[in-house]
Each structure stands twice: as C-alpha cells, then as structure tokens.
A and B are shown apart, each in its own frame.
Chain A
C-alpha cells in the first residue's frame, strides 16, 4: 500500500519518491533490513508472486516485449527474468518534443528466489497481454497428502 502509492509516476508522491531515492543513495537503506535482492521501488518489470499447493506462480508485468527476447532461467533456486525493451521514441522525426518519458527502455533483469520445495525442471512460462506468467511446480514429495491409518 505504502510502496504502491510511492510508485505512481504522476501521483502526489512522485516528487517525494524522487527525494527518497536520492536520500537512499546518499545514506543507504539504514535500519530497514529487507531481502538481499531487494530493489528500489519502481523496478521493471513489476513482479507479483502467488502460491498454490501445487505451484509457485510468478507474474512479471512486462508489456511490449517480443517473447523471443525474454529470457527466463532457473539456477540453484534463483529464477531470473531478463530481456530488453525497445524505446517507443519515433525515429527520424525532426522537431520532436518529449513531454513524458516514464516507460522503461533498455535492458532489464529481475530475480526471484524460489523455495526449496519447488522443482526447477518443471517450469512453464506464458506471455499474454504484456504479462509473463511463470509457473514453477512443487515437488510431488512435498505436496500435502493424507496418511492412511492402518
């Protein structure tokens, strides 16, 4: 809630967010231990993680990317999503004014650490409407099961 308010590019906190970012660069993230892979708010792509009894599902909000240029890798329990997004700036146009440039362009890379009960050999990734949905199955031996009483 707090973070998402700060994330609005044109929201009332946009200027505050810039200030906060600058302060973080000067003083570091003092006194707030987070994940070792924590990133500043507003990183691209935004990621949601959900969990079901059968799988861990990662949603990466990465619109406007050629799926062939998306790279998803799992290495030692760390899932990495990387790729590149081209600029939307029209080319070869003289007298071009830029009024807003909020969208991410260029290379990006984000990582998510997976829990131990996931099976890195069973990963499915689907890209639709600008969202990359990665489903990592849990190991069958870790699934809850009922134990028969003799």
Chain B
C-alpha cells in the first residue's frame, strides 16, 4: 500500500485502459523474434523498456484527426498500446535489435553465447 502511494504515476497508468498489441513470437537456435502490430504509432512515440527480466512495449497512437471530427463507429477505442513479456535468463537483453516500420515492431532478442546450443560428445567409459 505504501509503495503504491509512493508512486501515484504508475498507479494512474495501470488504471488507464490500453490496447494489447497482437504479436507473433518465434524462437530459433540463435534467439527470439518478436513481431508486434502497433498501428498508428509514430516512431517517436514508441517506447521499449527492459527492466530486470521484463520487456515492456508501449506506444501512443498519434491523433491524425481534423477538428470537429465526430466518432461514428470505433473498433479501436483507446490510444495507447502496452504489453509486457517476461524474459528468460539465457536471453541477452543488451543486444536487442529493434526495427519499426509501418506500425510493425520487429524485435530480435539474441541468446547469450554460452546459451547457444552445442553438441555434447558422449564418451564411453
């Protein structure tokens, strides 16, 4: 409770309704590829955070609406995307590569070199 009072900003953020971006996640031997749909977010309003073992994607949709625009019908009803993922320790968060184009975020999270697969020789004693 005290902790919450100490940080009203995160509490306020947690209460705002957000869009959860749809993602594809693939893993190959070298690491993980994450693709996220965040339509309407310009590059400068996209935020990527790694805190401990949590990866957080956030983005704000830039309003491109003329004055006097009246909503008639809306399937997208919030203006902020947010989604978090727990990362496992073999992933190297210091070497994440990110590309953002046409509202699609492409993240490559490589594995640590020591976590790369290697073949273990079986010797017969």
Contact = CB atoms under 8 A, between A and B. Distances in A.
The interface size bin for chain A is: 35 or more
B77 A129 contact: no
Of listed A7, A62, A88, residue having the most chain B CB within 10 A: A88
Contacts of A88: 24, 26, 33, 35, 104, 106
Contact of A63 (B24, B42, B102): B102
The interface size bin for chain B is: 35 or more
Interface in B1-51: 17, 19-20, 22-29, 33, 35, 37-42
Interface string A86-105: 00111001111111111110
B36 to A, nearest CB: 8
Interface in A29-45: 41, 43, 45
A104 B37 CA distance: 9
B25 A98 contact: yes
Interface string A104-141: 10000000000000000000000111110100000000
A143 interface: no
B33 A100 contact: no
Contacts of B62: 129
Given A3-B75, A49-B72, A90-B33, A65 B102 contact: yes
B104 A96 contact: no
Interface in B69-83: 69-78, 83
Contact of A131 (B29, B40, B75): B40
Of listed A56, A130, A131, A133, residue having the most chain B CB within 10 A: A130
B26 A51 contact: no
Given A8-B20, A128-B64, A130-B37, A61 B76 contact: yes
Contacts of B29: 95
A25 interface: no
Contacts of B103: 61, 63-64, 129-131
B39 A51 contact: no
Interface in A13-65: 41, 43, 45-53, 56-57, 59, 61-65
Contact of A61 (B27, B39, B68, B69): B39
